[in-house]
Structure 1
Amino acid sequence: MNKLKLTIYFLLLIPIMLIDPHISELINTFFTSETHISIFLFFIFIFYLSQQIGYFIAFPLSLILGMIYDYYYFDYLGIMVIAFPVSISFLYIFTKYLEKNSKIQSTLLFSIYLFLVNFICFLIVRSLDFTSLSWTFFITYELLPSLIVNIFLFVTINTYLNRFIY
């Protein structure tokens, strides 16, 4: 991937990251107050982008984007700075052992990637006592609905992103 395309994709990540919470809030108005669905267009785009660029570019990029994400969403540095690089590393470990990348494998990898990011974030937030949510409440009312909606969104925009990025 040439440097111009990489720069364009990096610059596209910022508006996508800024749009995500507004879409999430719009969708959450249709559900009960206990259920919280997060739309992760940003993670979908990073997932595709990280499969195109090498690990030595994706890892520092995930650190930078993790810092921006932490500052914008949490106003606390350290949550996504850890979660993004760890999940990108696991993503590269999983893709190293796959022979052919099909749509089903991509969907499964994305669901694992999204689970890892959310799980690591919850572990960090829970260990720093930023939340008092229990595991069962988090999985039932936040993680599972978000995974279902984002996997559906991933499958829906899969062909468009394949044409755009590849």
Structure 2
Amino acid sequence: MNFSKYSFVPFLLSFIPFLWDGHISMILNHYLSPEFFLSSHLFIIYVFLMTLNLSTSRLSYLYLIFLGFIYDTYYFKTIGIVILTLPILCFLLTQLSRFVKRNAYVDLLLVFLSLFIFDIINFGFVLLYGYSNESITDFIIYQLSPSLFFNLLMFILTKPIIEKLFLYLSVDRFK
């Protein structure tokens, strides 16, 4: 997909799901039982859709490092978790998307795999930094499974809207 000179707009729009993630997680966890913890990854889904639909360049990886820095400082109050995982996962996602014929099911599988790896790596860093002492079994049952189910549902609901937005921005309407 070729973009016009206004191709920075999808990157700027990524701040909207970034700010919504914390609020969505807080509202949902308020109504869930205390042993379950659901984390919204609407921002990560947006970034992965942006990676799948836009041509990536070195500048986009610098932007992902910048977004990872902001994500780390905003949500984790530390540096080094998402600043590493976000660009690496987006690179792996672009490499994987070269070998498969993309359709809705493949995109769902790629996002599932990416969210799974993202959550597992983040959990490993959280254990490494000593922010949690939760067992991997409890993490999988009470946090990873509900979060993956919710985020896949969010992906199914938001994918058509985001792709229409990218298509709208790809046409040079701003002459």
Q: Deviations along 1:114-164, whole A, 9 cap, x unmatched?
A: 111111111111122221011001111111100001101111222212211
- Whether the 8 Å contact between 1:58 and 1:88 is mirrored in structure 2 is no
User: Identical aligned pairs, as a percentage?
Assistant: 29
Matched, 1:134 2:135: yes
Q: Which residue of 1 aligns with 2:79?
A: 77
Q: Match for 1:15: what amino acid? A: I
1:82-161 alignment runs, 5 A limit = 82-98=84-100, 100-161=101-162
How far apart, in 1, do the equivalents of 2:109 and 2:121 lie? 18
Relative contact order: is structure 1 or structure 2 higher (C-alpha 8 Å, sep ≥ 6)? 2
5+ residue gaps, structure 2, are: 168-175
How far apart, in 1, do the equivalents of 2:111 and 2:57 lie? 17
Shift of 1:42: 0.5
SS at structure 1 position matched to 2:33? coil
The runs of 4+ residues in structure 1 deviating greater than 3 Å are: none
Q: TM-score, normalised by structure 2?
A: 0.88
SS at structure 1 position matched to 2:14? helix
Q: Which has the larger radius of gyration?
A: 2
How far apart, in 2, do the equivalents of 1:145 and 1:38 lie? 8
Q: Match for 1:48: what amino acid? A: L
- Whether the 8 Å contact between 2:24 and 2:40 is mirrored in structure 1 is yes
How far apart, in 2, do the equivalents of 1:143 and 1:50 lie? 23
Q: Deviations along 1:36-58, whole A, 9 cap, x unmatched?
A: 11111111110111121315343
5+ residue gaps, structure 1, are: none
Q: TM-score, normalised by structure 1?
A: 0.92
Q: Which residue of 2 aligns with 1:27?
A: 28
How far apart, in 1, do the equivalents of 2:57 and 2:76 lie? 26
Number of residue-to-residue matches in the alignment: 164
Shift of 1:108: 0.4
